[in-house]
Structure 1
């Protein structure tokens, strides 16, 4: 086969060369289909990358530069539909990087960094359709907010831990850090949709842009990142947003029984197994509340702050969650519900819920 020496093929070969080197990987063996890079690394690398991803790759259905290159100064916004796991673009990171213990959520023990026995060569789960039946309920609950595909396709340039075993340890350490950043992106993007908090949208956008920049750091920089400090900054804004939203949504006239119930509702409250059937929980502060196995059938949770609330085995059948704030897909996945449960438009009804 004759080498392809067209300008496009040279650009493609050089991009591959750059991506491998940035990930500190040994270069792949040369292919007669890919011409060798015609020059060493130089200042024109950036121009080549920009030319390729802005001119050639978009016409081939590829990603624009701003999505894959961490040095891009113009950071685009991020839509909420991008903040959910896409297993087709991930290297099975949650199935390898994270540990789990034999319990009601997992059938066996697994150490961090060890691939799950159900992980296949294509990074898909071999028992995906039977996870709950086989005792792996925890797998069906987990959601990475899109961090998996970010680490796989952007941070490591599409080079997986099987191709490059030397990157495995660092990649597995980077993944949970990226997951935390993507969870913050979920909350910040939601905050920008909340009109009562419009007065602080400028501050929210600033932290959103800062968080986006952090997600584009190199692996070694991500490992040095003080995530807790950044979370604290974001949390301060989320608290202010929550107060503004709940204050505007709080019922002006509330029945006395509901008032008494609201007094018991507070941040981090223990409501494990509580009977809250039909409860008026509008604009309630349920941050970090323990709602494990609680009966929330028909409850009104509109405008309630649900960040960090533990909904494991809570029954949300017929409950109204429209307008609730900071609810995540993982929380819904951990709960029970039915076709009558009303959800925010950004979330989907879990497959295991009853009809």
Structure 2
């Protein structure tokens, strides 16, 4: 992974356990308990480490293993609040917990923009992407109260328009002029898609929850925001797919025959 992307991956060693405190979650297949935002998870230790980190999936906290802050945790902890821990500075806690989810969204956009700038096929819009990247990065360096007051949806709309253009350029060029738009259906929950040809497809935001995607061909598909929770990607080919994140992969099942983009790694729970 390039140094350019390192700061856009979670670094728990330099974070004050923000995702374990700031964010709420509900008892479900992904979480064993209910937790309100701003309340520390009972599994969070005083040193900001998770006491069941190696057993999260077995203990009913699969949602934690598939969460990615895109580096927002260490950014808020070490830069925005200059290394001041909410435990030692309780008066900062509320503001810190409000900044974190906004920062997470900004860092997610930075991650996608950085990937788009590495795509040779998207070169015609690299200058526009770079402007958006610089603007997004500048927003992450604002004072806490200004970050909280941001209308992220407005900025996200601008970024999303550029990412769509990048997606079309990549899928068009990889297909010698043909883009697979026949798979636009968003709901593939539990679908039987074994061996399906999904190359170059626009699968943005698609719901693949518990879908059978064994040996599916998803090369050069746009997978931004696709939900792969408990989907079976065994033997699937995702080489060249764009905007796929490690958290999406972590939420799925797969095996050693699953072909992932070079920047992603096989999760520990996959079949060896």
Partner SS state of residue 46, structure 2: coil
> How far has the Cα of 1:248 moved from its partner?
1.1
Q: Distance in 2 between matches of 1:218 and 1:352?
A: 40
Superposition pairs of residues 30-109 of structure 1, within 5 angstroms:
79-109=4-34
Matched with 1:133 is 58
Matched with 1:290 is 207
Q: Measured at CA, do residues 175 and 116 of structure 1 come closer, stay the same or move farther in structure 2, by a change above 3 Å?
A: same
Is the radius of gyration larger for structure 1 or structure 2? 1
Aligned counterpart in structure 2 of residue 110 of structure 1, from 27, 35, 44: 35
Partner SS state of residue 24, structure 2: coil
Q: Distance in 1 between matches of 2:66 and 2:268?
A: 11
Matched with 1:156 is 81
TM-score (norm: length of structure 2): 0.96
Q: Distance in 1 between matches of 2:202 and 2:88?
A: 47
8 A contact 2:172–2:178 mirrored in 1:
no
Structural RMSD (CA):
1.6
Which aligned segments of 4 or more residues in structure 1 are displaced greater than 2 angstroms? Answer: 250-254
> How far has the Cα of 1:171 moved from its partner?
0.2
Partner SS state of residue 123, structure 2: helix
1:189 lines up with 2:106 in the alignment: no
1:232 lines up with 2:157 in the alignment: yes
In structure 2, stretches of 5+ residues that fail to align are none
The answer to which structure, 1 or 2, has the higher relative contact order (CA under 8 A, 6+ apart) is 2
Q: Distance in 1 between matches of 2:77 and 2:243?
A: 26
TM-score (norm: length of structure 1): 0.74
Matched with 2:258 is 341
Alignment length, in residue pairs? Answer: 271
Q: Measured at CA, do residues 339 and 225 of structure 1 come closer, stay the same or move farther in structure 2, by a change above 3 Å?
A: same
In structure 1, stretches of 5+ residues that fail to align are 1-76
Matched with 2:243 is 326
| Cα-to-partner distance string for 1:151-192 (whole Å, 9 max, x where unaligned) | 000000011001100000000000000000000011000001
